Structure 1
Amino acid sequence: MADVVLGVGTGVFIITLIWILTLALTIILSRATGPTKLGIIPVVLLALIITLVLVFFPRAAEVPAPQRAAQIVDMFFIGRYVLLSLVSLVFLAALFMLLPLHFLEPIYAKPLRTH
């Protein structure tokens, strides 16, 4: 089953669309006068034939064929760990370069009051 919306497939939507169009055409043709009004019969028969063909000759089986589970392979495994180790080294180097600036920040003495 390829596309399923609300638990039904595409064929159900196609059949529904066909019958909605048939209903609209029959309403339009019922307002007509003369022999045009008899156009309702072929429209309904055509919709019935299309519906029967779609129901009795489906394109796919009702039960989908069993599918193998997709196997996910990480092709960039080694490169990812090399990048991780490189970023970790840069982080540690930056941390150890910034720590002395943080801890050894000069604290200037305030002048004493002399009075």
Structure 2
Amino acid sequence: MRMPGTVLGVGPGVFILALLWVLTLLLCVLLSRASGLARFSVILVFFAAVIITLALVLFPRASELPPPATEIKIVDTFFIGRFVLLSILSVVFLGCLFVFLIHHIMQPVYAKPIRVPS
């Protein structure tokens, strides 16, 4: 079962960690080109990324196990109305069948008079 808020089966935390490390790598590459004391700030950026990663991994917001799925019970609240509607429809159908039987199938056929030649 897929949890809501996931993409390809992983949550937003994985994307936050990936973005954090991509930005860390980019900042380390940019700072490695610098000269002087700014060059050593790469170590601070790297350790800051490690600390943030450890905080996100060790203190997750959600539980590791999904909540147990509750069984969905379907209740027909319109049962009596549906039953009354079915009863009325059955009575109308039987009435129409009776009228069809009387007027169409049992229609009287009168005999034609025989002409007697004179």
With normalisation by structure 1, the TM-score equals: 0.59
Given candidates 47, 55, 60, the residue that maps to 2:62 is 60
1:14 corresponds to: 16
1:34 corresponds to: 36
Correspondences of 1:1-115 after superposition (within 5 Å): 1-71=3-73
1:12-69 Cα offsets, whole Å, 9 max, x none, are 1110000000000000000101001111011101100010111111111111111324
Task: Detail structure 1 runs of 4+ shifted over 4 Å in the superposition.
Answer: 69-78
Query: Partners of 2:41 and 2:76 in 1: how far apart?
Result: 63
Measured at CA, do residues 67 and 37 of structure 1 come closer, stay the same or move farther in structure 2, by a change above 3 Å? same
Q: Which runs of 5+ in 1 are unaligned?
A: 83-115
Measured at CA, do residues 72 and 42 of structure 1 come closer, stay the same or move farther in structure 2, by a change above 3 Å? farther
Measured at CA, do residues 74 and 44 of structure 1 come closer, stay the same or move farther in structure 2, by a change above 3 Å? farther
Higher relative contact order (CA 8 A, sep 6+): 1
Q: Which runs of 5+ in 2 are unaligned?
A: 86-118
Measured at CA, do residues 66 and 37 of structure 1 come closer, stay the same or move farther in structure 2, by a change above 3 Å? same
- Identity among equivalent positions (%) equals 53
Measured at CA, do residues 21 and 76 of structure 1 come closer, stay the same or move farther in structure 2, by a change above 3 Å? farther
Query: Partners of 2:23 and 2:36 in 1: how far apart?
Result: 22
Measured at CA, do residues 24 and 73 of structure 1 come closer, stay the same or move farther in structure 2, by a change above 3 Å? farther
With normalisation by structure 2, the TM-score equals: 0.58
Measured at CA, do residues 74 and 21 of structure 1 come closer, stay the same or move farther in structure 2, by a change above 3 Å? farther
Q: Note the aligned Cα RMSD (angstroms).
A: 2.7
Aligned length: 84
